[in-house]
Amino acid sequence: MTVTHTNLILASASPRRRELLGLAGIAFDIVVSPVEEPAPDTGEHPAAYAARMARRKAAAVARQHPEAVVLGADSVVAVGETILGKPKDAGDALRMLTLLSGRTHQVVTGCALFAPGREPAIFTVSTDVTMLEISQARLAAYVATGEPMDKAGAYAIQGGAAAFVATICGSYTNVVGLPLAEAVEILRTYGAITPANH
C-alpha cells in the first residue's frame, strides 16, 4: 500500500483516471474542476493544449483547496497537428474514427501538479497508437453503442475499440487517460506519497 502524506485531490470527473490512480494504492479525494474546456488556439500544438488544459483544471481546484496537493490531467487525440476532442454527435464520432482507421495517431496527456509552497509541475506524455483498417459498418456499430461520445478521439482503448488497435508504442495507461508511472513519480518527487516498497 502506498502511504499518502498529504491531502491529495484528483481534479477530474473521469472514472478512468480515478480507477488508474486507485490501482497505485493511493488515497485521494475527487474534486471536479469547474473550468470550461475551450477549443485549441489556432495552430496550438496538441501537447501545448493538453498541458494548458491540465494546468487550468488543477489551478482552479488548487485555488479552492490551497492546503492540498492537486493533480489535474487532460488527454487529447491527435493526427499530426490536428486535435480530435470529444465528438459533438454520432456523425462527428464516425468522422473521427474514419480518420483514425488504418493509421497511427498520438494520445497526449497533459498533467499538472499543484502543491503548497511549490512551483506547479507540468508535463506531457505521448503514446503512438496504430489502428487497423476498420470497415465503416464496424465503426458505425461501435458508434451506435454510445461509448465514443464522451471520449477524446471517439474511442476507449479499454472498451469496445480494443479490437481496433493493432499496436501501441509508449504508455498504455496514458491512452486510458493518465500516465500512471509518471504521475506516481511526480507525486513521490513532491513528497506527496511514499510507495510501499521504498
3-state secondary structure 22-70: HHCCCCCEECCCCCCCCCCCCCCCHHHHHHHHHHHHHHHHHHHCCCCEE
pLDDT score recorded for residue 2: 62
Residue 170 to residue 129: CA distance in whole angstroms: 9
Which of the residues 29, 74, 128, 150 is marked catalytic? 74
pLDDT tens digit string along 16-73? Answer: 999 999 999 899 999 999 998 898 999 999 999 999 999 999 999 999 999 999 999 9
Mean pLDDT, rounded, of the chain = 93
If pLDDT is split at 50, 70 and 90, which confidence band does 194 have?
Answer: confident
* Residues whose CB falls within 8 Å of the CB of residue 81, separated by 6 or more in sequence, listed in order: 43, 45, 46
pLDDT tens digit string along 83-123? Answer: 998 899 999 999 999 999 999 999 999 999 999 999 999 99
Q: Are 81 and 131 in contact (CB under 8 A)?
A: no
Roughly what angle, to the nearest 10 degrees, separates helices 180-189 and 15-23?
Answer: 60
Which domains, ranges and CATH numbers included, belong to the chain?
A: 3-194 (3.90.950.10)
Residue 43 to residue 63: CA distance in whole angstroms: 30
Q: Is 74 a catalytic residue?
A: yes
Residue 5 has pLDDT above 70, yes or no: no
Residue 6 has pLDDT above 90, yes or no: no
Residue 196 to residue 22: CA distance in whole angstroms: 14
What pTM value is reported for the model? 0.92
pLDDT tens digit string along 136-188? Answer: 999 999 999 999 998 999 999 999 999 999 999 999 999 999 999 999 999 99
Residue 197 has pLDDT above 60, yes or no: no
Residue 11 has pLDDT above 90, yes or no: yes
pLDDT score recorded for residue 193: 86
Residue 48 to residue 54: CA distance in whole angstroms: 10
Residue 153 to residue 35: CA distance in whole angstroms: 21
Residue 195 has pLDDT above 70, yes or no: no
pLDDT score recorded for residue 164: 97
DSSP 8-state assignment for residue 132: P
Radius of gyration over alpha carbons of the chain, in Å? 17
Residue 198 has pLDDT above 60, yes or no: no
